[in-house]
């Protein structure tokens, strides 16, 4: 479905160019060399993917243990950074590559990382395994969200072999050797989104279900992209996650929450509702995409706490407002057409 608002090119013109990261084009040696001992902790460890050449905007999360797992390896073109990061924290063997969802920023590197760690099994929601077997589908989905520059920014994914894929349903778990990692269906950001919960440590790795929180700010920014964002499901999923009573929350963008889990859930819902309210109010009075973008931004700025300019710029690199508006617009269009069908 196309959305009414398409403002991406003009808005992107205002963004500062970003340096591309050293990426997977550089071969990473498997040689053991001076080996770093494996991590002593079982708490999540952040590996900075350096997505789009920026530090601390997209985190891959390592869950150490007898059978280490990597959650959301990041974009295809930064796989080399992640492999290097894993080596630096003492990971020589990876048993599982676990995906919260199949957006290219989170899942693009899965095939490359799987090639590098041939013992690893790849886990993803049962309805989207096809995106990993056929990376063209991942590329199409990336273009649908980010436009024609998607490949330039995130690289080109390679396929995961079918035999290495394990589809996940709500309540399934991933074996970490000394404990299990529970998969929680959490639709909203996208229909096939999953959050992963380690009951032993209480750590919950949330992908994009709660939105983003970047270093330098306590603000949580909702992430509402095309093509199947659903506001009502997103809010219901956040309440579902609260019911697990986690001890800590970990964002794909970026790392551990700066507040208690209870406050983080509250803030995520408040932010998502504020965006939605602003969007609905402004979309009633304009059909012009740029004007809508400006007024939604102004509205959100007025209702949420101030964001330092450096953090604002990084929010726009990780999760541009035009992407969010396109997603909210699609959600609204679907709801309206359901109402029209029912009438
Ligand atoms: Zn996403």
CA pair distance 138, 195, nearest whole angstrom: 20
Classify residue 3: in a domain, yes or no: no
Listed residues: CB within 5 A of ion ligand 1 = 103, 208
**How close is the Cα of 101 to the center of ligand 1, in Å?**
7
CA pair distance 327, 330, nearest whole angstrom: 5
- Bridge pairing between strands 45-48 and 59-63: antiparallel
Structure token pair of residue 156: 């080109």
Mean pLDDT value of segment 5-25: 35
Q: Which of 28-37, 55-64, 287-296 has the lowest mean pLDDT?
A: 28-37
**Among candidate residues 102, 227, 226, the one with its CA nearest the CA of residue 160:** 102
Structure token pair of residue 188: 């909203």
**How close is the Cα of 106 to the center of ligand 1, in Å?**
7
Is pLDDT of 17 > 70?
no
Diameter of the chain by CA atoms? 69
Whether 275 contacts 300, CB under 8 Å: yes
CA 239 to chain centre: 19
Structure token pair of residue 331: 């959600």
Classify residue 138: in a domain, yes or no: yes
**Among candidate residues 53, 29, 48, the one with its CA nearest the CA of residue 89:** 48
Please state the pTM of the whole predicted model: 0.89
**How close is the Cα of 40 to the center of ligand 1, in Å?**
30
Is pLDDT of 20 > 50?
no
**How close is the Cα of 342 to the center of ligand 1, in Å?**
31
How many other C-beta atoms are found inside a 10 Å radius of the C-beta of residue 84?
A: 14
pLDDT of residue 5: 42
pLDDT in tens, 204-241: 999 999 999 999 999 999 999 998 999 999 999 999 99
Number of domains in the chain: 1
What's the CATH code of the domain at 21? 3.60.15.10
Classify residue 215: in a domain, yes or no: yes
pLDDT in tens, 173-197: 999 999 999 999 999 999 999 999 9
What is the domain range of residue 304? 10-336
Mean pLDDT value of segment 6-12: 34
Classify residue 231: in a domain, yes or no: yes
Model confidence band, residue 8 (pLDDT cutoffs 50, 70, 90): very low
Q: Which of 49-58, 221-230, 274-283 has the lowest mean pLDDT?
A: 274-283
**How close is the Cα of 102 to the center of ligand 1, in Å?**
7
Classify residue 1: in a domain, yes or no: no
**How close is the Cα of 98 to the center of ligand 1, in Å?**
14
**Among candidate residues 236, 96, 237, the one with its CA nearest the CA of residue 164:** 96
Classify residue 176: in a domain, yes or no: yes
């Amino acid at each position: 479905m196309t959305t009414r608002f398409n403002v991406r090119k003009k808005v992107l013109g205002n963004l500062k160019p970003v340096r591309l990261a050293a990426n997977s084009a550089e071969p990473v040696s498997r040689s053991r060399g001076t080996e770093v001992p494996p991590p002593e902790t079982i708490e999540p460890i952040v590996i900075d993917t350096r997505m789009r050449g920026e530090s601390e905007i997209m985190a891959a999360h390592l869950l150490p243990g007898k059978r280490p797992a990597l959650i959301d390896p990041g974009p295809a073109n930064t796989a080399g950074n992640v492999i290097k990061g894993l080596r630096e924290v003492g990971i020589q063997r990876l048993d599982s590559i676990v995906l919260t969802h199949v957006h290219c920023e989170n899942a693009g590197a899965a095939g490359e990382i799987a090639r590098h760690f041939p013992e690893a099994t790849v886990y993803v929601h049962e309805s989207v395994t096809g995106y990993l077997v056929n990376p063209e589908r991942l590329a199409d989905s990336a273009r649908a969200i980010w436009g024609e520059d998607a490949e330039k920014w995130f690289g080109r994914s390679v396929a995961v072999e079918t035999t290495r894929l394990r589809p996940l349903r709500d309540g399934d778990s991933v074996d970490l050797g000394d404990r299990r990692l529970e998969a929680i269906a959490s639709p909203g950001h996208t229909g096939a989104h999953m959050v992963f919960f380690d009951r032993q440590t209480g750590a919950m790795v949330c992908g994009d279900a709660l939105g983003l929180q970047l270093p330098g700010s306590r603000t949580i920014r909702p992430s509402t992209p095309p093509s199947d964002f659903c506001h009502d499901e997103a809010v219901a999923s956040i309440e579902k996650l609260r019911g697990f009573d986690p001890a800590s929350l970990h964002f794909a963008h970026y790392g551990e929450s700066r507040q208690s889990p209870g406050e983080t859930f509250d803030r995520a819902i408040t932010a998502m509702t504020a965006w939605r309210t602003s969007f609905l109010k402004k979309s009633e009075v304009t059909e012009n995409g740029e004007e809508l973008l400006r007024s939604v931004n102004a509205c959100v700025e007025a209702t949420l706490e101030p964001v330092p300019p450096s953090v604002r710029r990084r929010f726009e690199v990780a999760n541009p407002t035009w992407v969010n508006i396109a997603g909210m617009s699609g959600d609204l269009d679907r709801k309206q057409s359901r109402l029209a069908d029912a009438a």
